[in-house]
Structure 1
Amino acid sequence: MTTDQLYQELNYVNHSRENRLKYANLVIDNPELISKLLDILFMVDDKISCRAAWVFEFMCGENLETAIPYLDKFTENIHKVHQDSAVRPVAKVCEYLVTALYSKTDNKIKTSLSLKHKERIVESCFDWMINDEKIAPKAYAMNSLFLLGKDIDWIHPELVTILERDFQMQSSGFKARARHILKKIKAS
């Protein structure tokens, strides 16, 4: 399947779980499509890029290790994503990666996620925290930053500053997640 054919196929992706899962499995079963899917995802001004982001998120949710050969491409470009419906799945994939990195069970992400990848994820997560994003990307970013802050000492103080500064102006969902993260930071 060419990039153009995949692009046309993504026209049929919708919000239903079954539909996104169907296309995620198509990509998992045909790993040569992953690079093409990312090419479409990073056509950030195209409405189809959001659909590519949904499929990529579902693919990572089903089999995160299929993304390993594409970590450079993914992390080099995540800062470009700006459409709300694409930012949320990209932030979720970052959370998947960071959660796998700090998982108690062995996995290939632990040896594949480089310092450069982590730095790019940290940068994007802080951007989502300080920019006018919806609650979901902020929540995923908070969790990713909390975990990465266990090893990168400057992250927790910066995260606390942002959470405390923005607390009163944000939604109840933000406040609930922020309280949870602040409590975990104080406990660690």
Structure 2
Amino acid sequence: MTSNTLYQELNYVNHSREKRLYYANVLLADTSLIPEVLDILFMVDDKISPRAAWILEFMCGENIEAIIPYLDQLTEHMSKVHLDSAQRPVAKICEYLAKAYYGKEPSKIKQALLSRHHEKIIELCFDFMINDVKVAPKAYAMNTLHLFGKDYDWIYPELVLILERDFHTQSAAFKARARHILKKIKKK
């Protein structure tokens, strides 16, 4: 499949789980398409960009290790994503990476996710937390930052400060997730 064909195919991706899963499996069957999907994702002003993000998120949900050869490209450019419908899946991919990295299950992510990737992910998650973005990217960012806080002492104090500062002005969903994260942090 050429990049032009892939771009045209993304026109048929919608919010349905079936479509996203179908195209995620296309990516897993032909991983040479992943750089093309990343290129489309990083065409950040294009209405097709979020669709690339959706299928990339589903691919990572199915097999997070498939993104390993493209971690540099992903982490280098993900901060450019600004459309609401693309930010949520990017934040979810960051959470998938953090969960694989800190999880008890063996994962190649534990060796592949380097400190430079950590820094980019942490930076993006804090950007989501302090900027005016929807609650879903903030929720995924909270979880991701909580996990990375295990290795970076400075994250918890900063995260607690943001959560407590924003608690009263955010949605019920934000408050619920914030309470959960704050409880976990205070246990430590």
Query: Per-residue deviation at 1:68?
Result: 0.3
The corresponding residue for 1:131 is 131
Matched, 1:56 2:56: yes
The corresponding residue for 1:76 is 76
The corresponding residue for 1:88 is 88
- Specify the code of the residue in structure 2 equivalent to 1:143: N
> What CA deviation, in whole Å up to 9, does each residue of 1:112-171 have, x standing for no partner?
000000000000000000011111100000000001001101000000000000000000
Q: What is the 5 A alignment of 1:129-168?
A: 129-168=129-168
State how far apart, in whole Å, the 2-side matches of 1:147 and 1:51 are: 27
- Specify the code of the residue in structure 2 equivalent to 1:90: V
Query: Per-residue deviation at 1:3?
Result: 1.1
> What CA deviation, in whole Å up to 9, does each residue of 1:11-54 have, x standing for no partner?
00011000110000001100100000000000000000000000
The corresponding residue for 2:7 is 7
- Specify the code of the residue in structure 1 equivalent to 2:172: S
SS in 1 for 2:13: coil
SS in 2 for 1:51: helix
Gaps of 5+ in 1: none
State how far apart, in whole Å, the 2-side matches of 1:45 and 1:96 are: 25
Query: Per-residue deviation at 1:2?
Result: 1.4
- Specify the code of the residue in structure 1 equivalent to 2:126: F
Taking only aligned residues, the RMSD between alpha carbons, in angstroms, comes to 0.5
State how far apart, in whole Å, the 2-side matches of 1:182 and 1:78 are: 27
- Specify the code of the residue in structure 2 equivalent to 1:168: H
State how far apart, in whole Å, the 1-side matches of 2:31 and 2:107 are: 19
TM, length-normalised to structure 2: 0.99
State how far apart, in whole Å, the 2-side matches of 1:30 and 1:150 are: 35
> What CA deviation, in whole Å up to 9, does each residue of 1:85-105 have, x standing for no partner?
000000000000001001011
Query: Per-residue deviation at 1:4?
Result: 1.0
What percent identity do the matched residue pairs reach? 68
Runs (4 or more) in structure 1 with deviation over 6 Å come to none
- Specify the code of the residue in structure 1 equivalent to 2:46: D
TM, length-normalised to structure 1: 0.99
State how far apart, in whole Å, the 2-side matches of 1:95 and 1:181 are: 14
- Specify the code of the residue in structure 1 equivalent to 2:154: W
- Specify the code of the residue in structure 1 equivalent to 2:119: E
SS in 1 for 2:49: helix
- Specify the code of the residue in structure 2 equivalent to 1:25: N
Count of paired positions = 188
Matched, 1:114 2:132: no
Gaps of 5+ in 2: none
- Specify the code of the residue in structure 1 equivalent to 2:69: P
The corresponding residue for 2:35 is 35
